[in-house]
Structure 1
Amino acid sequence: MSSPNTESSTPNTQSSSPNTQSCASTPSPVSLADKRPIIISGPYADDTGRLVRRLKNAYPGIFSLPAMHTTRPQRPNETEGVSNFFVGMTQLAIMKSYGEFIHTDCSNGCWYGTSRTAVAKEMDKGLIPILDIGTSGIKRVQKTSKLHARYVRFRRSSFDGPSESYEDGDADDEESADEGEGDDASLVSTMVSSIASKLNDDQFISIVSDDIGDAYKQLEEFVFGSMYQGQ
């Protein structure tokens, strides 16, 4: 008498198999094989900012923007430690003297710095930190921070003159004078060549485009080229 029940349960077991197989064969949309931070720079902060936001929003739970330390006054709608840590100039200077920052920038009289601790915390969460820094900053970070990262340089093909609204707070006075005033196409080209010569193809890309959509596509292909496993 128990046989019909046993037999009737068989189709249920078999019918569940396709679902199990389907779940198992569905690839994860993104493989986190490459967790190196991504450092992006360009002559126009608005352009690089758009690329960073688009990448982060397109892949939630994959990328992050580490909270920065800043001497800028806290705004009413801001929460300490979410996007920024609000500090005085003395505290920021002390942290800088101890080498706690990967890089620092000055914009409109206010200082900003991304600390090694902030980047490490994001990586500990399994996230990929994205740093948006100045042109001379990318050279300085690559040269001195010993950060194992990937570097992206973006500019419009029409770019031919001074640009950035922030200063590289990590550069020496002489280096800053050389780079800050003459951030024109020829200097940028020389700087990019210098950086690229020291990095592998999967570590650096120079994107030149007047189309933000095209630039984003190149950025996406570069980022995910080494993150997908077997795809």
Structure 2
Amino acid sequence: MYMRYFSRLFSAMAGPRPVVLSGPSGAGKSTLLKKLMKEYDSIFGFSVSHTTRNPRPGEVNGRDYHYVTREVMQASIDNGEFIESAEFSGNMYGTSKAAVQAVQAKNLICILDIDMQGVRNIKTTDLNPIYISIQPPSMAVLEKRLRDRKTESEESLQKRLQAAQVEMEFSKEDGAFDVIIINDNLEDAYGRLKQALLEEINNVKKTNSTS
């Protein structure tokens, strides 16, 4: 029910076209996002997701995630306050309506960093984002990146690798993504990401310069 309501809500909201950024953990999404936000801080706004997992070292509540208890998050989902939510490795993740609306209200391009389940959910709304998948050059490279982080238990790492395999298969489905970027070289991947978003970036610049 709330998904249909939210479809109508988004239809009525004017603002820049959002961007859905998806891809396996370890593919380099966060690094690319940080570069984008640094270069275009007056163009993009990051939709901060909610999660029930504990913060990692260096992560800040309200910037990296909204860290909440399972009870609080489940109550908000039941109340229809989320666009999408999913559970992974015993933790819940999700994107709230308020997080997207807060960005769009500033005439910024809202970036949603979400997983495959979230992509499927958003495709049932009228949000009409640009869908971009960030992928590693291979599963072997992905595994090395995850191991080098030293933030995962072996069990958690294997779950992430399994999820990555499923996500990469999903990205091959017809119409799943508008753009697929293989992050083999960070600067090259960043250049391709900027190119994919250039039209929207220029639109926001034009709007902001005339307002």
| Structure 1 gap ranges (5+) | 1-32, 166-179
Distance between the aligned counterparts of 1:82 and 1:208, measured in 2? 26
User: After the TM superposition, which residues 142-153 of structure 1 pair with which residues of structure 2 at under 5 Å, given as runs?
Assistant: 142=123, 144-153=124-133
Following superposition, the deviation at residue 83 of structure 1 comes to 4.6
CA contact (8 A) 1:104 1:111 kept: yes
| Structure 2 gap ranges (5+) | 1-13, 147-160, 207-211
Q: Which residue in 1 is equivalent to 2:49?
A: 68
Following superposition, the deviation at residue 205 of structure 1 comes to 0.8
User: After the TM superposition, which residues 172-183 of structure 1 pair with which residues of structure 2 at under 5 Å, given as runs?
Assistant: 181=162, 183=164
CA contact (8 A) 2:82 2:96 kept: yes
Q: Deviations over 1:61-113 (max 9, x none)?
A: 21122233232457998876455434321221122123322222445543232
- Code of the residue aligned with 1:147 in structure 2: it is L
- Code of the residue aligned with 2:191 in structure 1: it is K
Q: Which residue in 2 is equivalent to 1:117?
A: 98
C-alpha distance 83-157 of structure 1, shift in aligned 2 (>3 A): closer
Q: Which residue in 2 is equivalent to 1:158?
A: 138
TM score, norm. by length of structure 1? 0.61
Q: Which residue in 2 is equivalent to 1:39?
A: 20
User: After the TM superposition, which residues 1-231 of structure 1 pair with which residues of structure 2 at under 5 Å, given as runs?
Assistant: 35-45=16-26, 47-73=28-54, 81-106=62-87, 109-142=90-123, 144-159=124-139, 181=162, 183-184=164-165, 188-189=168-169, 191-196=171-176, 204-228=178-202
Q: What do you get for the CA RMSD once the two structures are aligned? A: 3.7
C-alpha distance 85-211 of structure 1, shift in aligned 2 (>3 A): closer
Distance between the aligned counterparts of 2:181 and 2:66, measured in 1? 31
Distance between the aligned counterparts of 1:61 and 1:96, measured in 2? 31
User: Which is greater in Rg?
Assistant: 1
Q: Which has the higher contact order (CA 8 A, sep 6+)?
A: 2
- What's the secondary structure of 1:195's corresponding residue? coil
Distance between the aligned counterparts of 2:29 and 2:57, measured in 1? 26
Question: What is the count of residue pairs matched by the alignment?
Answer: 177
CA contact (8 A) 1:161 1:183 kept: no
Distance between the aligned counterparts of 1:190 and 1:134, measured in 2? 11
C-alpha distance 100-106 of structure 1, shift in aligned 2 (>3 A): same
CA contact (8 A) 2:137 2:184 kept: yes
Distance between the aligned counterparts of 1:45 and 1:105, measured in 2? 18
Distance between the aligned counterparts of 2:77 and 2:141, measured in 1? 30
Following superposition, the deviation at residue 52 of structure 1 comes to 0.8
CA contact (8 A) 2:23 2:164 kept: no
TM score, norm. by length of structure 2? 0.66
Q: How much identity, in percent, do the aligned residues show?
A: 29
